[in-house]
Chain A
Amino acid sequence: MQNAFIRTVMAIALGAIPGALGRYLITELTKAMIGKDFSYYGTFFINVTGCFIIALFYTLSEQKFKNVSPEIRLAIATGFCGAYTTFSTYGLETFNLLDKGNTTIALIYWLGSMIVGMIAVQLGVTLGSLNSKSNSSKI
């Protein structure tokens, strides 16, 4: 029981560490390149790519690599994708844009993240399912 808990925590931590650090570095890079007040470009990029990765991974693990261990799922989906993407910063950036009176940009960012995120999920699912029939028939 305790061993299972430690394994779970280790697997999640293994993914969460690069996920959170990657998010931080991309955000800092965005601020350095575009400007201090434009961190939402970075968050947008992070959230959309994270949606693509989680959809691709879940689809591949459901259709092609069916014996992926639960620890790998925890590390990649729960740990990495979960920590890499963020909902709280997305809310905060939308709110701060609204607060500063940038209503149009706030709406584009808010709705844009929701919609492009869904497109990224669809893309990940589609790419992950490619050739899945021909592959499974060969095995």
Chain B
Amino acid sequence: MLQNVTLLGLLAIVIGAIPGAVSRYYLTEFCKKNMATSFPYGTFIINFTGCLLMGFCFTFLKGIEGFSADIDLLVRTGFLGSYTTFSTYEYDTFTLWRKGNLGSTLFYWAGSAILAVVGIALGRYVANLFLGV
């Protein structure tokens, strides 16, 4: 059933996932320390930049010669999948809402989701420029 799953592929995901999750943590902490606000800028920036990179890599990695499926697993499934997060996004939205910040709740909730698609589109556009398509 899972013929595509190889040990090297799983290892590639692990190698990408650890720096992905660790950089998410330190970026979030950095934003918490340097921005005196309850708005979750850290996760907001992480998810947008993650989508930019995802749009870029999805198009770019498939467009280059000698593309390796394991590199794709390392970069996209491992690093970018782990760098971006959906659970903290929804939990932060819930927390903002419970604090009564309806404006920033809606801005964060809808804004992140809109920027997800915009980020992918922009990333793909840039990748196509690189590939000369």
Contacts and interface: CB of A to CB of B under 8 A. Distances in A.
Given A92-B51, A95-B121, A82 B21 contact: yes
Contact of B90 (A78, A82, A118): A118
A23 B77 contact: yes
Contacts of B91: 51, 54-55, 58, 121
A13 B100 CA distance: 34
B17 A20 contact: yes
Interface string B105-117: 0000110110011
A23 B10 CA distance: 11
B51 A88 contact: yes
B47 A87 contact: yes
A9 B89 CA distance: 22
Nearest to B51: A91
Contacts of B17: 16-17, 19-21, 83
**Is the contact region of chain B dominated by helix, strand, or loop, or is it mixed?**
helix
Interface string B1-44: 11011000010011011101110110000000000000000000
Interface in B38-87: 47, 50-51, 53-55, 58, 73, 76-78, 80-87
B89 A87 contact: yes
B86 A79 contact: no
A34 B37 CA distance: 44
Contacts of A125: 94
B90 A89 contact: no
Given A47-B86, A95-B121, A118-B93, A28 B2 contact: yes
Closest 6 CB pairs of A and B: A91-B116, A20-B17, A87-B84, A85-B86, A16-B21, A88-B54
Interface of A: 8-9, 12-13, 15-17, 19-21, 23-25, 27-29, 32-33, 47, 50-51, 53-55, 58, 74, 77-79, 81-92, 94-95, 98, 110, 113-114, 117-118, 120-122, 125
